[in-house]
Amino acid sequence: MLKRWIGMAMTMFVVMPLMVHAEEHGIRHLQSSDDIVRVEQRLREAIEEKGLTLMSVVDHTANAEGMGLSLPATRTFIFGNPQVGTPMMQCQGSMALDLPQKMVVRETDDGVRLEWNSPHYLAERHSLEECALPLDKVAGVLEGVASTAAGQ
């Protein structure tokens, strides 16, 4: 029993700094045990269901293969809602660097991982604190889209 507690403590000692590091840099994520095809299908459905526009999907794996390199299945979904993104860019034009929103879907040793930028982090990054923006609502929508895609 003591070994189990020590093992759990050591795991937390290693994992927590990595999780905090990701959060400090505004990266949110969820894992899915489903295959990438199913996760991507649900992601497309969730984006449409939320009334968002899917603008493009970048297939990084195909791009790597085109150069003779290998990469686990990795795709970036680019989507958004101009009614939400435009006020952010009106507040600070540099927001156009991070909008439209992106969500990465990639295969890892632990399953399929979905990753996206926290809107609160982006607001901090681009100094949007003086603008009245629905950041909690945007964060909720992104969490919901990712959760649906992950099958949770």
The whole-angstrom separation of Cα 145 and Cα 108 is 20
CA-nearest of 130, 44, 47, 137 to 84 is: 137
| pLDDT of 23 | 59
Residue that the structure tokens 């991507």 belong to: 40
| pLDDT of 68 | 98
SS3 track for 126-151: CCCCCCCCCHHHHHHHHHHHHHHHHC
The whole-angstrom separation of Cα 50 and Cα 147 is 13
List the structure tokens of 35. 């295959």
pLDDT along the chain (152 residues), means of 10: 48 44 78 97 98 98 98 98 95 97 97 97 94 95 98 94
Terminal C-alpha separation, the chain: 31
| pLDDT of 25 | 86
| pLDDT of 15 | 43
CB 111 within 8 A of CB 146: no
